[in-house]
């Protein structure tokens, strides 16, 4: 970038400024990212095929929620990695709250912006990204039970959940993939988050990064970075 400073001046001015003294704060981060990075043909095909399989497109009015369940929490003198096996009730509560939070934030954004073109809240679709496939599987199971009266009463307004529970997301700090394609599911999550109408994110920076890439400015943190003992678990 430093060696192409003069070359980039016109691109930066054209992409990030509505006039000489005004910026477009809502999607500036997204525009910078799209100017600097472009997916390879193989990754692009994987993303487009996956989105088609999920019934999504960048133009469709879907929401997104990111659930980081495997993030270590400090407990006095050791770390705890909660998951569906060790702490199912806790992880389920985080997961459901992620979905409820993004739906509430989206509805609030519609109410505060009467001229919004986002659409209404009927038939909402939420894409769930998670480092734990069991989280996606669990939340999709709630959607599958939507016709059950007891479930409908306890989860009024629950949206349709979509996601890829069959794909692992290697941790970039720990994993050593043999082929770049092993990272494709993580790039898919970022791509889908970046085109959502509203995003909820929890602990860690992955979900927040995806929320910042979205152009709508509609985002909410559904889980704080508290210590393990603060959860009372």
Condensed to tens digits (0 to 9), the pLDDT of residues 173-213 reads: 666 767 888 888 988 999 999 999 999 998 888 898 899 88
- Closest C-alpha among 221, 219, 223, 25 to residue 109: 219
Its pTM stands at: 0.79
| pLDDT tens digit at each of 233 positions of the chain | 333 444 444 554 555 455 544 444 566 777 777 777 888 999 999 999 999 999 998 778 899 999 988 777 776 667 777 889 888 998 999 999 999 999 999 999 988 876 555 555 568 999 999 988 899 999 999 977 755 444 444 566 789 999 988 777 766 666 676 788 888 898 899 999 999 999 999 888 889 889 988 878 899 999 876 655 555 54
d(CA 207, CA 230): 22
**Residues with Cβ within 8 Å of residue 140, at least 6 apart in sequence:** 128, 161, 162, 163, 165
**Residues with Cβ within 8 Å of residue 25, at least 6 apart in sequence:** 217
What distance lies between CA 228 and its chain's CA centroid?
Answer: 23
**CB neighbours of residue 217 within 10 Å:** 13
In the numeric block, which tokens belong to residue 100? Answer: 């409820």
Do 197 and 213 form a contact (C-beta atoms < 8 A)? no
d(CA 84, CA 91): 6
d(CA 228, CA 82): 10
Do 127 and 196 form a contact (C-beta atoms < 8 A)? yes
**Residues with Cβ within 8 Å of residue 92, at least 6 apart in sequence:** 84, 138
DSSP 3-state of 49: helix
d(CA 23, CA 38): 23
22-30 contact pairs (CB < 8 A, 24+): 25/217, 26/215, 26/216, 26/217, 27/215, 27/217, 29/212, 29/213, 30/194, 30/212, 30/213, 30/214, 30/215
Using CA atoms, how far residue 164 sits from 21, 23, 37, 120, 188, in Å, is 43, 36, 24, 25, 10
């Amino acid at each position: 970038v430093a060696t192409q400073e003069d070359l980039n001046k016109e691109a930066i001015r054209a992409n990030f400024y509505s006039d000489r003294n005004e910026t477009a704060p809502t999607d500036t981060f997204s525009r910078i990212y799209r100017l600097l990075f472009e997916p390879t043909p193989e990754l692009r095909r994987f993303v487009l095929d996956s989105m088609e399989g999920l019934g999504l497109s960048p133009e469709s009015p879907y929401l997104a929620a990111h659930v980081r369940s495997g993030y270590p929490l400090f407990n006095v003198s050791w770390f705890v990695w909660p998951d569906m096996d060790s702490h199912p009730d806790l992880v389920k509560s985080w997961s459901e709250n992620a979905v409820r939070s993004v739906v509430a934030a989206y509805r609030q954004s519609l109410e505060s912006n009467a001229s919004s073109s986002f659409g209404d809240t009927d038939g909402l679709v939420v894409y769930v990204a998670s480092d734990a496939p069991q989280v996606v599987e669990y939340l999709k199971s709630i959607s599958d039970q939507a016709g059950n009266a007891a479930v409908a009463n306890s989860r009024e307004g629950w949206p349709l959940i979509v996601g890829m529970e069959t794909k692992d997301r290697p941790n970039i700090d720990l994993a050593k993939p043999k082929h770049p394609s092993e990272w494709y599911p993580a790039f898919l999550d970022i791509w889908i988050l970046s085109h959502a109408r509203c995003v909820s994110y929890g602990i860690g920076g992955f979900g927040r990064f995806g929320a910042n890439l979205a152009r709508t400015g509609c985002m909410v943190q559904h889980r704080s970075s508290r210590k393990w003992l603060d959860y009372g678990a």
